[in-house]
Copies of this chain bind each other. A is one copy, B any other.
Amino acid sequence: MPDASLATSTRTLLRINEVAVETGLTTRTIRYYEEVGLLAPAARSDGDYRLYDASDLDRLQFIRDLRDDAGFSLSQIRQLLEDEAARGRNRERLRATTDPIERRRYLGEAEERVLRQIALLDAKAARLATMIEDAHARLTRIRGHLIELEGVVTEAAR
Which A residues fall within an 8 A CB radius of B?
65-66, 69-73, 87, 100-101, 103-104, 107-108, 110-111, 114-115, 117-118, 121-129, 131-132, 135-136, 138-139, 142-143, 145-146, 149, 152-153, 156
Contacts and interface: CB of A to CB of B under 8 A. Distances in A.
Nearest to A150: B104
Nearest to A116: B135
Interface of A is mostly: helix
Given A111-B142, A111-B143, A156 B100 contact: yes
A132 B138 contact: no
Given A111-B143, A114-B139, 16 more contacts: A66-B127, A69-B126, A70-B124, A70-B127, A70-B131, A71-B71, A71-B72, A71-B73, A100-B149, A104-B146, A107-B149, A110-B142, A117-B131, A124-B124, A125-B128, A125-B132
